[in-house]
Structure 1
């Protein structure tokens, strides 16, 4: 097979295993986990929840990413964006990925069960199943609404961080979950517009493939407007203050402007995609900074 023969001999195997975990995605996810933890309490975090909760959630997320690589290996082989991944290139085999993902997942679950609480472990496992099985195996291949429905698994990290500390589902945790849930479609659809020919060739029914670019760009704008409105809710319920609200509206205004321009210029798909990542990081950084400035615990009963 030509793609396998072309693998550079000097490529270190550990890099292939690291790539299976989608480290950049997991890094952003762990940042939102940390924010969820810090927002859940006024004082210092319990060190076990901070260290082993983050490690456990990160390991399970890496396992889910590896399973996604395994499930998508045939699709990845025909898409320009993904044909260089470890499985299509032959740097790892399917059996190795199964063993690797199982080890990561089991290790992560042990950390969560021993050092956090059963609810956090259960929700983390549900997220693993939701992403690696429900989304990757079924939704991705069956409906153009795949990312809308499957986005619930990707929206869980800040909620998991919150629950790792408190052991319960509070309104603040659910609101953080909602923000990422609504952020996911415009984020991913922008990339799907840019890579629509790849998805069509791989026969993946992403929205730009099934409904066209104009329809998808309109939906991106609609979701972005809804996202900006939802990001005002932390202020509305007393979870955050005016500094957060001002920053969130500035970030959101830029997002809406880019989404509006995308409807007229498809070349802005990747700028929208890249900004969406910076937007999420900035929004959660604002939540964290506002919480630190306030110097007081937010109570769900307020």
Structure 2
């Protein structure tokens, strides 16, 4: 559960006076978790032609969300020194001292235990196992072993962030199909252009924190070229579900429009760079993913929606 961890570049607002629970809540990266849960829920509905049972929907979404929140808190703990250096993260609860390291670790462990209990007891073991793997992939493997070791950290670590729709799929079917893996592939290819757009205008902060993001190690122009190439790859991958007849014309038309928008931003960014344009590209990438998965949901259940409206 990693790639979607950058859904906002705004500093976390931490108020030292007030209810302590708010400070712990901020540690869970609620906006990021919200997008993770959304794509997981879409995965649930895409896994069946019927309505997902409400109780299973709530239990699975809650379990997946708790797991994502646990990984986010653990990421905060392990990144606390780098966060203290970067302007966009200096106001987070741990660098400011609003929350202690021990308290954050207890929260991460509590959320992880609740997530596993919920998923194992009331959803299925496969979903629990995949959620745990994603949690460790982001909270430990990416943060400890990849983030500070290679400029390809986002590419490799993106696997953890691409799992939410697969988790949702497994929660409903108890298995992982080729269609579920296509959803994984889309988010996996989306992660690099999304995160590198952020890294472009935050490059000095990453350099000061000792994080070898691509703009720091390979320069601005090379990174912008990679954004164009990965965006082109993403656009091609998003057409695969139509080619396999997973989705129909509604998805195809909408995805083409969204892809044109992403390519437009990527090419502009390459030819006429500015920090403002990089911010716009980053912002569009978030909207792109949310709308793309919304299109999937609409297309998959279009017949049911029409029947409901005309009833």
TM over 0.5: yes
Structure 1, gaps ≥5 residues long:
1-6, 297-302
Which whole-Å CA distance do the structure 1 matches of 2:182 and 2:303 have between them? 19
Match of 1:185 in 2: 192
Distance in 2 (alpha carbons) for counterparts of 1:255 and 1:61 = 27
Shift of the 110–258 alpha-carbon distance from structure 1 to 2, 3 Å rule, reads same
- Per the normalisation by structure 2, the TM-score is 0.91
**Cα separation, 1, equivalents of 2:244 and 2:123:** 28
By how many angstroms is 1:8 displaced? 4.9
Alpha-carbon distance in structure 2 between the residues aligned to 1:277 and 1:190: 11
- How does 1:197-236 map onto structure 2 within 5 Å? 197-236=204-243
Partner of 2:301: 292
Q: C-alpha displacement at 1:240, in angstroms?
A: 0.5
CA distance in 2, matches of 1:265, 1:93: 44
Structure 2 spans left out of the alignment, 5+ residues: 1-13, 306-311
Aligned-residue CA RMSD in angstroms?
Answer: 1.2
1:91-130 matches, cutoff 5 A: 91-130=98-137
- Correspondent of 1:85 among 89, 92, 96: 92
Give the aligned partner of residue 28 of structure 2: 21
Could you list the per-position Cα deviations for residues 246-302 of structure 1 after superposition, in whole angstroms to 9, with x for gaps in the alignment? 100000001001000001233211100000000000000000000111449xxxxxx
Secondary structure of the structure 2 residue equivalent to 1:230: helix
For residue 11 of structure 1, report the CA deviation from its aligned partner: 3.6
CA distance in structure 2 between the partners assigned to 1:8 and 1:75 by the alignment: 21
CA distance in 1, matches of 2:18, 2:235: 43
Q: Is the CA contact (8 Å cut-off) linking 2:47 and 2:173 kept in structure 1?
A: yes
Question: How far apart are residue 15 of structure 1 and its match?
Answer: 1.4
Helix, strand or coil for the counterpart of 1:239? Answer: coil
- Once the two structures are TM-superposed, the CA of residue 116 in structure 1 deviates from its matched residue by 1.1
Give the TM-score normalised by structure 1: 0.94
Asked whether the 8 Å contact 1:78–1:198 carries over to 2, the reply is yes
1:143-166, Cα deviation, whole Å (9 max, x unpaired): 000000001010000010000000
